[in-house]
Amino acid sequence: MRVFLTGASGFVGSHMLARLLRDKHMVRGLVRRRGSLSPPQTSQQTLEEIEGDINSVNLASSLADCDAVINLVGIIYERGTDTFERVHHQGTINLVAAAKQNGVKRFVQMSALGARPAKATAYHV
């Protein structure tokens, strides 16, 4: 199976990437900077790093020939243009549209919110 994986260099994503590669899946990992995946996890035959942004208008072409999308992208703090709205909400909308455009049949979405009484950021509810 060819899987498009966002958040591949993050905590959950790096574990998902390792599992997908161990199970012999072909993985296209969306990364902010090429080379950000650690060497033990990379495999030239089954891993393709796609440098880009989840909100890119060119994202759809990266999903060509993919059977599944696993969206693990996420931020804990807003920084510059990386806001919760832009990354978690608009990015997911963009990714779903790209998946539909490419006829992707499986889409796994994981998201998180903090939960504490004295919230310090919009991440917490």
Question: Concatenated DSSP letters for 33-92?
Answer: STT-S-GGG--TTTEEEEE--TT-TTHHHHTTT-SEEEE----SS-BTTB-HIIIIIIHH
Tell me what pLDDT residue 33 has.
73
Which has more pLDDT, 84 or 108? 108
Does 116 fall in a domain?
A: no
How do beta strands 2-6 and 68-71 pair? Answer: parallel
In this predicted structure, the answer to whether residue 38 has a pLDDT above a threshold of 70 is no
pLDDT in tens, 45-83: 789 988 888 988 889 999 999 999 999 998 888 899 988
The CATH number of the domain where 31 resides is what? 3.40.50.720
Does 76 fall in a domain?
A: yes
Does 121 fall in a domain?
A: no
CA angle 94, 96, 100 (to 5 degrees): 115
Contacts of 29 (CB under 8 A, 6+ apart): 5, 6, 8, 9, 13, 17, 37, 47, 48, 49, 50
What's the rounded Cα separation, in Å, for the pair 121 and 93?
22
Does 119 fall in a domain?
A: no
Does 31 fall in a domain?
A: yes
Count: domains in the chain: 1
pTM of the model: 0.87
Domain assignment of residue 32, given as a range: 2-109
Does 123 fall in a domain?
A: no
- What average pLDDT does the segment 14-21 reach? 92
Q: Report the mean per-residue pLDDT for the chain.
A: 87
What's the rounded Cα separation, in Å, for the pair 46 and 58?
22
Does 33 fall in a domain?
A: yes
Does 122 fall in a domain?
A: no
Q: How far is CA 94 from CA 22, 48, 112, in A?
A: 29, 21, 18
